[in-house]
Amino acid sequence: MQLFSPYALLHEHASRHPETEAIVIGDLVITHAEFVERVTGFAAWLVHHGFKPGEVTGLCIRDEVEHLVCAMALLCLDTPHISLGSHEADPTKRALAAKVGVTQLVAERPEGWMDGLKVLVAPIGDPAAIAAAPALNIERLCMGRSLDAVGVYQNTSGSTNVPKTFGFTLERIRLLSIRYANDAQERRALRTGSIEFDAHRLSRICSLLAGNTSVFIRHLNLRDLVSLCERAQVSTIHMGGYKLGSLVQAETHPRPRLPTFTMVQTGGSRVPGRLRKELMQALTENLWVLYATSEVGMISLASPDQHESFPEGVGFPAQNVQVEVVGPDGDCVAAGEIGQIRVRKAGMAPGYVAEPGAGSNFENGWFYPRDLVSLRDGEPLIFHGRADDVMILNGLNIFPSAIEDTLESHPGVKEAVAYPIKSRIHGEIPVAAVVLKDGTERQVPQLMDLCRSALGIRAPRQILVVDRIPRNTAGKPLRRELGASRTA
């Protein structure tokens, strides 16, 4: 049985290239040798303060570096963990912790929703506290683990306000680390998303395991971004299309352009041809559009030379990904026809942590993202949108039912329906229409507060009071009809 030790890999990089930069964040530079030292010290601190290796652990730290050090220490201590980020509502964090069996938390501070769980308050900014902990046996940290073992629990969007969750195995961590080690464009990568968001956090973990440099930016604006890329020799920027568009639009002329050696990789939500053209004219010609899912990883990547001919194209399927386009009967459709995509890839998630209906995206070894695509011989995948009513705001899936259930829990609401407003920058902005029992709008601020408290960033950005909700003959609300005439 093949075993894998994240700590042994980190230690190997630090031994071979101790002065190579592991993390660059502002004026702070942490070498690989220093990073391993921090991880080792934090692991020792955890064990010294009653942490139980092997038990599922929740991670609640917003600081970029401290979060990354703690996450790597947990991984090296043979401990699966889940990020319970500050962007999630407290009930959601509680539900996620219960779903995966969290028994202990490493957090910045105790909070009310943590009642009943063991909480270790991390000594952020206190190196003396870390140094005071008795040293661990390095051999213990270097012990290998089965590739089937879960290293990290990752959240993706669910059919309620509680996201779906699956185990990110050591095999997948190992494969992603190998890919990053062999990809020159990943040598000095900048990811602009928060460390608390799984995709960005896991990519940074695997980047460090690959011996690469992970670059952070403190203040995201176009001029600072260009300056950082030049100063830190950034090889690739990973950023959602909505952020890229916002940066370009916020900057007055003349706009600075990125250095030619910096590649931009974007995705997370639809990147329409109009936005691609604008970005290439204003920012860089080296623009790549990624199509990926949390469950599978990268599926395809559209190169700069494809954007003109295929403005909705998401690239050719990667060599290690099997892709089929199928109809409602599950049979492959004819070339060029629109159907649902299904994908299969070594190391992809086998399913979600048990919850009602959660396994519906997985069938017979295939994963169904519920996206509509078409594919012709010699042409890239063309993306046509979602196969269901899911709204995608800045790469985050939002289900209407979560918003509707929350609104209809209020005694003043008779009916509610959630729907998207199309946005060139943000993808889809969630909005809700309500029929109130008294017919007045005075309750709208209260309803907004209710949604923000229960749903966090999945809350609607606007609530409209209407006399009636349009429905079809089967009684289903016509969501697209509500949002068709509005754009943002």
Higher pLDDT, 92 or 481: 92
User: Quick one: pLDDT at residue 484?
Assistant: 62
Give pLDDT tens digits for 15-56: 999 999 999 998 899 999 999 999 999 999 999 999 999 999
Beta carbons of 271 and 395 less than 8 angstroms apart: no
401 and 364 in a common domain = no
Measure the CA–CA gap between 259 and 53, rounded to whole angstroms. 45
416: left (phi over 0), alpha (psi -120 to 50) or beta: beta
In a domain, 488, yes or no: no
Average pLDDT over residues 277-290: 94
Residue 127 lies in a domain: yes
- In the numeric block, the tokens 């030049």 are attached to 230
The answer to whether the CB of 353 falls within 8 A of the CB of 327 is no
Residue 402 lies in a domain: yes
Same domain flag for 88 and 227: yes
How many CB atoms are closer than 10 A to CB 452?
Answer: 15
Residue 181 lies inside a defined structural domain of this protein: yes
**Overall average pLDDT of the 313-336 stretch:** 94
Tens digit of each residue's pLDDT (9 = 90 or more) over 52-99:
999 999 999 999 999 999 999 999 999 999 999 998 899 999 999 999
Range list of H helices, 394-461: 400-408, 444-455
CA distances from 6 to 18, 78, 170, 273 (A): 17, 9, 9, 40
Residues 253 and 348 in one domain: yes
Q: Is residue 213 part of a domain?
A: yes
Select the more confidently predicted residue: 86 or 484: 86
DSSP 31-57: EHHHHHHHHHHHHHHHHHTT--TTS-E
CATH number assigned to the domain comprising residue 436 = 3.30.300.30
Instruction: Look at residue 1 in the predicted model and tell me its pLDDT.
Output: 63
pLDDT greater than 90 at residue 214: yes
Which one-letter DSSP state was computed for residue 412? T
- DSSP-assigned beta bridge partners for residue 433: 417, 464
Domain encompassing residue 277: 3-385
The answer to whether residues 414 and 376 belong to one domain is no
- B/e letters for 196-207, b = 16+ CB within 10 Å, e = fewer, are bbbbbbbbbbbb
Residue 100 has pLDDT above 80, yes or no: yes
Same domain, 294 and 248: yes
Average pLDDT, the chain: 90
196 plus 229 within the same structural domain? yes
pLDDT for residue 475: 52
What is the torsional sign of CA 199, 202, 204, 209? Answer: negative
pLDDT above 60 (res 135): yes
Say if CB 296 and CB 367 are below 8 A apart.
Answer: yes
* CATH number for 256: 3.40.50.12780
Q: Are 248 and 222 in contact (CB under 8 A)?
A: yes
- Range in 17-21, 182-186, 434-438 with the lowest mean pLDDT: 434-438
Measured distance CA(331)–CA(462) in Å, rounded:
41
User: What's the average model confidence in pLDDT over 188-217?
Assistant: 94
In the chain, the number of structural domains is 2
Choosing from 369, 385, 401, the residue where a domain stops is 385
Q: What is the per-residue pLDDT for 170? A: 95
Q: 221 in helix, strand or coil?
A: coil
Confidence of residue 166 (pLDDT cuts 50, 70, 90): very high
Distances (CA, A) of 196 to 86, 203, 261, 457: 8, 12, 28, 14
pLDDT tens across 399-420, in order?
A: 777 898 899 889 888 888 899 9
> What does the pLDDT read at residue 159?
43
Residue 439 pLDDT level (bands cut at 50, 70, 90): low
Cis before 163 (ω within 30): no
Query: Distance between CA atoms of 56 and 54, rounded to whole angstroms?
Result: 6
Residue 141's pLDDT is what? 86
Domain shared by 119 and 186, yes or no:
yes
Same domain as 318, residue 435: no
Residue 54 lies in a domain: yes
Whether 20 maps to a domain, the answer reads: yes
Residues 357 and 405 in one domain: no
Do 395 and 304 share a domain, yes or no?
A: no
In a domain, 357, yes or no: yes
Widest CA span in the chain = 71
Q: 413 and 363 in one domain?
A: no
Give the domain-ending residue among 357, 385, 413: 385
Give the pLDDT band (50/70/90) at residue 474.
very low
Asked whether residue 379 falls in the same domain as residue 399, the answer is: no
Of 385, 417, 451, the residue that ends a domain is 385
pLDDT of the residue at 356:
56
Q: Is 282 helix (H, G, I), strand (E, B) or coil?
A: helix
Q: Is the CB of residue 120 less than 8 Å from the CB of residue 107?
A: yes
> Span 134-148, mean pLDDT?
88
Q: What is the structure's pLDDT at 487?
A: 55
